[in-house]
């Protein structure tokens, strides 16, 4: 059975209160009504595609948590407790990849819910030939990657050996 990586940018969030540019205000931004609906559409799309993560890494920001909550009713498999990881908030691609590499070996489908510009930059690094990624990663966008190998010489690729040569884009959607 192949391994899949799902990169999801949080759904549409409300702006921070006027004049408050603090990190705390940014973390507290909730999804808009349209964002809540988009998160549910994303969950429905995952169900229709037969995709259900067995390991989730999520930014602790309110908008990413609410995006995850919108997916939950649509997921097939029981979900283990998500890892709410502060290290992926505003993280560069290499830091996001480092979190993916920490996924347990038994995980078949990993979901990372985060923010731009890191999510879109990581997606581009994972598959530089996927022209569809040139259109950008709008809120609620989802990229599905298949793992096929790694630069490490191991018989069974796993998350710990995952690198930018291990994954290719399978699907890009904005449900």
pLDDT of residue 134: 85
* pLDDT of res. 77: 65
Give whichever of 12-16, 145-149, 150-154 has the largest mean pLDDT: 12-16
Q: Which of the four pLDDT bands, split at 50, 70 and 90, describes residue 156? A: low
Domains and CATH numbers, the chain: 4-173 (3.40.50.1240)
Strands 167-173 and 83-84: unpaired
Q: What pLDDT is attached to residue 153? A: 52
Alpha-carbon radius of gyration of the chain: 15
Residue 19 predicted with pLDDT over 60: yes
How confident is the model over 4-25, as a mean pLDDT?
94
Which of 41, 49, 103 lies closest to 73, judged by CA? 41
Condensed to tens digits (0 to 9), the pLDDT of residues 86-135 reads 999 999 999 999 999 999 989 999 999 999 999 999 999 999 888 899 88
CA dist 19 → 23, 24, 116, 161, 172 (Å)? 12, 13, 21, 44, 35
pLDDT at 30: 97
- What's the CA gap between 73 and 10, in Å, rounded? 17
Share of the chain above pLDDT 70, in %: 93
pLDDT range class, residue 148, cuts 50, 70, 90: confident
Least confident span in 16-25, 59-68, 156-165: 156-165
pLDDT band at 75 (very low <50, low <70, confident <90, very high): confident
The dihedrals phi and psi of 27, each to the nearest 5 degrees, come to -60, -30
Beta bridge partners of 84: 58
Buried b (16+ CB within 10 A) or exposed e, 94-103: eebbebbeeb
For residue 155, pLDDT over 60 is answered with no
Share the mean pLDDT of the chain: 90
This prediction has a pTM of 0.93
Q: What confidence category does residue 81 fall into, taking pLDDT thresholds of 50, 70 and 90?
A: confident
């Amino acid at each position: 059975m192949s391994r899949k990586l799902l990169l999801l940018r949080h759904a549409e969030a409300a702006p921070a209160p006027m004049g408050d540019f603090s990190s705390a205000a940014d973390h507290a931004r909730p999804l808009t009504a349209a964002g809540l609906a988009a998160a549910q559409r994303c969950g429905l799309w995952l169900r229709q595609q037969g995709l259900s993560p067995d390991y989730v890494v999520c930014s602790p920001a309110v908008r990413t948590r609410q995006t995850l909550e919108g997916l939950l009713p649509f997921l097939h498999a029981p979900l283990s407790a998500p890892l709410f990881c502060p290290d992926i908030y505003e993280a560069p691609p290499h830091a996001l990849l480092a979190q993916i590499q920490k996924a347990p070996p038994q995980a078949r489908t990993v979901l990372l819910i985060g923010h731009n510009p890191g999510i879109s930059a990581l997606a581009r690094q994972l598959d530089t030939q996927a022209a569809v990624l040139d259109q950008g990663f709008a809120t609620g966008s989802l990229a599905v990657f298949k793992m096929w190998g790694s630069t490490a010489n191991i018989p069974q690729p796993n998350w710990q050996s995952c690198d930018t040569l291990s994954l290719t884009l399978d699907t890009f959607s904005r449900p």
